[in-house]
Amino acid sequence: MGTFPGERTAIVTGAASLRGIGRAAAARLAREGWSLGLLDIDGDEVAALAAALASEHGVEALGLGVDVADAAAVRVAVEELGRRLPPIVGLANVAGVSSPTPYLELPEGEWERVMRVNLDGVHHVTRCAAEAMVRAAVGRIVSISSVSAQRGGGTYSKTPYSVAKAGVIGLTRALARELGPHGITVNAIAPGPIDTDIMGGTLTEERKAIMAADLLVGRVGTVDDIAAAITFLLGEESGYITGHTLNVDGGMYMH
């Protein structure tokens, strides 16, 4: 197996959203000394974030605009990151879209839209990043699933979202088996209610209180809660954890 390099890059998808998990994870990883390859459909915003984090933390960072659902565009972007940054050792698949429409009311194309981003997009980026990690003989892959996948919904987003996020867990387990011999760990995180815009906009205090009533810790989660878990699972010391889904959900789902 390869050694965990001091100079290393983590790819973070969905990094541009101002109140999103991806941005919080990128900032935390930069503080930990990771170089960053940031991908988001908003190219201008993700490029600005990369420049800001590089300046603030003294790391290398590059932000590229790409739709993770576009396999060809993803390959071009990841190859560019590989040429311009230190070895790709980490990947955080954060990019995703919500889908609050009830199943029997799904409009034409909604199922496909959610699957393309939330499941196919994870596959496209992971495939390209894993190829680089195999060459380095070391890697950490973390993908964002959801407690919605485990509970069969019952959260803000409904059936297509739950199915896609369940697919992320299945993909995580299968890849852990296939990539383990190459020194690569693969894990998922299943957040509970998190105060981000994917919950349908900024949560009001009233809405937070309603959600928190079902949580053992008495509050909804923050992006920093998830960023901390991502950073841990991407770290060198997490090398004995693979094929696992870590629930960061305030006790919503116990298994």
The C-alpha angle 163, 221, 207, rounded to 5 degrees, equals: 85
Q: Determine contact, residues 108/83, Cβ cutoff 8 Å.
A: no
Q: Where in the sequence numbering do the catalytic residues fall?
A: 161
d(CA 178, CA 95): 23
Query: To 10 degrees, what angle do helices 21-31 and 43-57 make?
Result: 20
Going from the C-alpha of 16 to that of each of 45, 77, 80, the distances in angstroms are 6, 16, 19
